[in-house]
């Protein structure tokens, strides 16, 4: 067969239409308008938030679907076509400069989202996301409502959980510092309350903890740990003041396990998120040591009960003593 201009044009058109059918046609034929098991219709406020999401190009940085190989933060289930019934347009996105948001609803309370949209650095100090404060109070509320709806019925369960714990956390805070600390400690399982920090508070470890604090915590809890970072004006109850915790040590010496558990699991209903998917174990322990040494002037690092030393650890002896001189078993 001789190559002629006509044959070249016909061949190119065949390749184009075949590619279009594979890329567009087949997916369109497989799309179903049957709602998935988590789908629910959006409210009027959520619909307004969806329009704001589309109009402001949020999909340039955030995707709204989980693919088969995606099992990182925010991946609770594989996206289904029925999750997007009625959304026009369905802006799924492909970029993940920021995290996927398809299950973001209920991950944080409403006031956290308001804080985040006003200035993302208030909740995530190293965030690249621009401020959306220019939207104003009403549109920020609408956009937050849409984000809180992402995940459908699964998000609604998380939202109910946030509201339940916010009521309890707010009541504990209203009872004063002692009542608040007592309530917070009562939510930590018994095994964690008397667990000392197994990592030595070495200079290197404290520097690692300081860096983590600056990357994740400083704009809520403040540079000196007094809970007066810029986010304090938006979240309720306000961030915890670490400098008042010293008199609340368990048995006058334990604090590491409580710090670890609350950093790992967060405090649902408040602006304190969980970090179990962001920080591995050593980083949480290093952060706990940094909080203790820098803001309490004390850490229970490596006190009894003390297990086998890790192979890399040097001969470090804990120089920090609890108030009143009690609990003298300060390590090896």
Q: Let me know whether 242 and 284 are in one domain.
A: yes
CATH code at position 181: 1.10.760.10
Q: Let me know whether 206 and 310 are in one domain.
A: yes
Place of tokens 């809970």: 227
Which of 100, 127, 157 terminates a domain? The answer is 157
Q: Contact, 116 vs 207, CB < 8 A?
A: no
Q: What is the CA radius of gyration of the chain?
A: 25
pTM: 0.86
Q: Looking at the domain assignment, is residue 22 inside a domain?
A: no
Q: Looking at the domain assignment, is residue 5 inside a domain?
A: no
Q: Which domain holds residue 290?
A: 175-325
Q: Let me know whether 181 and 317 are in one domain.
A: yes
Q: Let me know whether 141 and 186 are in one domain.
A: no
Q: Let me know whether 303 and 217 are in one domain.
A: yes
- Enter the tokens of residue 310: 């890790």
Q: Tens-of-pLDDT digits for all 332 residues of the chain?
A: 677 888 888 889 999 999 988 887 887 777 667 899 999 999 999 999 999 999 999 999 999 999 888 877 667 889 998 999 988 888 888 888 999 999 999 999 999 999 999 999 999 999 999 999 999 999 999 999 999 999 999 999 999 999 999 999 999 999 998 999 999 999 999 999 999 999 999 999 999 999 999 999 999 999 999 999 999 999 999 999 998 877 778 998 999 999 999 999 999 999 999 999 899 999 999 999 999 999 999 999 999 988 888 887 778 889 998 876 554 455 44
Q: Cα–Cα distance between 255 and 123 in angstroms, integer? A: 25
Number of domains composing the chain:
2
Q: Let me know whether 92 and 217 are in one domain.
A: no
DSSP string of 268-330, one letter each residue: TTSS----TTTS-HHHHHHHHHHHIIIIIS---TTPSS--PPPTT----------GGG-----
């Amino acid at each position: 067969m001789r190559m002629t201009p006509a044959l070249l044009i016909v061949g190119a058109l065949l390749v184009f239409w075949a590619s279009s059918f594979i890329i567009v046609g087949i997916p369109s034929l497989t799309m179903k308008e049957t709602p998935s098991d988590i789908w629910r219709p959006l409210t009027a406020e959520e619909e307004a938030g969806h329009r704001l999401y589309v109009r402001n190009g949020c999909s340039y940085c955030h995707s709204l679907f989980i693919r088969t190989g995606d099992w990182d933060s925010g991946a609770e289930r594989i996206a289904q076509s029925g999750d997007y019934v009625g959304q026009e347009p369905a802006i799924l996105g492909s970029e993940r400069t920021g995290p996927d948001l398809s299950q973001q609803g209920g991950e944080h309370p409403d006031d956290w989202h308001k804080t985040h949209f006003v200035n993302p650095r208030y909740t995530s100090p190293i965030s690249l996301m621009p401020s959306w404060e220019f939207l104003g109070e009403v549109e920020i509320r609408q956009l937050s409502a849409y984000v809180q709806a992402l995940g459908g019925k699964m998000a609604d369960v998380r939202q109910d959980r946030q509201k339940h714990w916010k009521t309890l956390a707010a009541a504990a805070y209203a009872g004063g510092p002692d009542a608040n600390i007592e309530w917070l400690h009562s939510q930590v399982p018994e095994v964690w309350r008397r667990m000392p920090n197994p990592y030595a508070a070495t200079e290197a470890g404290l520097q690692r903890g300081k860096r983590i604090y600056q990357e994740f915590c400083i704009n809520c809890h403040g540079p000196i740990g007094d809970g007066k970072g810029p986010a304090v004006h938006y979240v309720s109850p306000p961030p915890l003041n670490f400098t008042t915790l010293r008199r609340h040590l368990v048995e006058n010496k334990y604090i590491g396990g409580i710090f670890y558990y609350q950093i790992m699991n967060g405090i649902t209903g408040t602006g304190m998120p969980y970090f179990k998917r962001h920080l591995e174990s050593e980083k949480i322990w290093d952060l706990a040591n940094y909080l203790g040494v820098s803001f309490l002037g004390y850490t229970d690092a490596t006190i009894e009960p003390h297990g086998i030393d890790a192979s890399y650890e040097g001969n470090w002896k804990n120089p920090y003593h609890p108030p009143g001189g009690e609990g003298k078993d300060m390590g090896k």
